[in-house]
Amino acid sequence: MDVCFVSNVIYPFITGGAEKRIHEIGTRLADGGHDITIYGRHFWDGSTEITHEGVTLRAVAPEAELYEDDRRSITEAIDFAARALPPLRRRLRNDEHDLAIASVFPYFPVLSTKLASLGTSTPVVTTWHEVWGDYWEEYLGLLAPGGKITEQLTAKIPQHPIAVSGITADNLAAIGPAREHIEVVPNGLDTEQVRTAPRPDTGYDIIFAGRLIEHKNVDILLEAFDRVADRHAVTLGIIGDGPERDRLDRKRDSLSHADRVSMLGFLDDYEDVLGHMRAADIFASPSTREGFGITFVEAMAADCTVIAADHPDSAADEVIGDAGFLVDPTVDSLTETLDDVLGGDRPATDPVERAQQYDWDAVADQAETVYQRAIDGSW
């Protein structure tokens, strides 16, 4: 099959989760003999069309700033969607692709992909990593209604929707397509890369990795750690950066055991993050919002005991199953479970075994099956 992906950013030139998913699935499909093209912005040097790891990268817009004031730029998203429409429409009209796949965020490229497909036989597949709903109010404040309306309109566009988790599929069904029409194909990771990542010279007993934003609840982790550190000779490493960094630095400094907590910031090398997970015994994340939660899978593959928040806006329960522990997103609940795990409790299922089902090879096989069904008309 001949498949094109539409994404304003392309891995490895931009290294976010959505574009990495396209790269990992796309390169494996290309290795399997399929023709894969990605339409995006020109973030690489040289020609506007290159082949990278067997995949054709086709720039339909110049490089641009993606963020304004720590938020994704609406202007950039509209600009890319407008620039992508004419070349994509021309190629779909010429039947160059059997399938067009648009990563949903930042929404407008989904509209241009659908418009490009009108009058052709090319089905449009969308990949939903999250459904924000009321989270728009936290993200945009007074501008939240605009975000909500855009998300809802995108959900109602005729499409073949893929969600990365069951909870995302359920949330999508609440604003758009019927639940039975939504396929679930999870995110993944390279389990071999995790197993071989070099451990750091200095490791930590407990680790957190993620963007330092409010719903990650790192302040709850800091307080819970301070309590268990009264009884256990343990250390905590916090990997990540974000708008909560200064506040969390002050929180760390106020702890009784501040000397055992290291704020490591953002680590440029992905393998450094994996190495810290391999060196740790526990990965703790009381985040209440996870459309999938790839760090849970990475930590399981690194043979960490995962402790995550049980919350209706988090896919943690679905992702870790009984290969980790779920807690209420409170200091008391997290403290109790940290105590239990440090005392020797282990999950019922081996975390490494659980993580294997999310290996990119397995995920790419699932995606290939779903893509073929869209082309065949059996979806």
User: What is the side-by-side order of every strand in the sheet holding 282-285?
Assistant: 261-265, 236-239, 206-209, 282-285, 305-309, 324-327
Q: Closest Cα to residue 65, out of 40, 87, 43, 48?
A: 43
Q: CA-CA distance, 146 to 227, in Å (whole number)?
A: 43
**Distances 354 to 168, 179, 193 between C-alpha atoms, Å:** 20, 26, 16
Contacts of 215 (CB under 8 A, 6+ apart): 135, 138, 287, 288, 289
Radius of gyration, CA atoms only, the chain: 21
- Interatomic CA distance for residues 155 and 301, integer angstroms: 33
Classify residue 297 as left (phi > 0), alpha (psi -120 to 50) or beta.
Answer: alpha
Q: How far apart are CA 300 and CA 205, in angstroms?
A: 15
H or E segment and range at residue 355 = helix 351-356
Residue 156 in tokens: 């109602």
User: What single DSSP character describes residue 344?
Assistant: T
Looking at residue 218, what is its pLDDT?
A: 98
**Low-confidence residues of the chain: pLDDT under 70:** none
Q: Which segments of 42-183 does DSSP mark as H helices, in order? A: 74-93, 108-117, 135-140, 144-156, 166-173
Per-residue pLDDT reduced to its tens digit, 108-143? 999 999 999 999 999 999 999 999 998 898 888 888
pLDDT, tens digit (0-9, with 9 covering 90-100), for 143-179: 899 999 999 999 999 999 999 999 999 999 999 999 9
DSSP helix/strand/coil, 213? coil
The answer to whether residues 178 and 193 touch, using CB atoms and an 8 Å cutoff, is no
Sequence-separated (6 or more) residues with CB below 8 Å from residue 367: 25, 29, 162, 185
- Distance, in Å, from the CA atom of 306 to the CA atom of 318, rounded to the nearest integer, reads 13
- 33-47 pLDDT, tens digit each: 999 999 999 999 999
Quick one: which of 28, 2, 46, 4 has its CA closest to 13? 46
Note whether 320 and 306 are within 8 A (CB): yes
Name the amino acid, one letter, at 146. Answer: G
**Under 8 Å between Cβ of 278 and 194:** yes
C-alpha 145/C-alpha 300 separation (Å) is: 38
- Intra-chain end-to-end CA distance of the chain, in Å: 16
Q: What's the confidence (pLDDT) of residue 67? A: 84
What is the greatest pairwise CA distance in the chain? 68
Closest CA to 113 of 3, 5, 2: 5
Amino acid present at 240: G
Tell me the domains of the chain and their CATH numbers: 2-188+359-376 (3.40.50.2000), 191-356 (3.40.50.2000)
The residue whose two tokens read 């976010």 is: 16
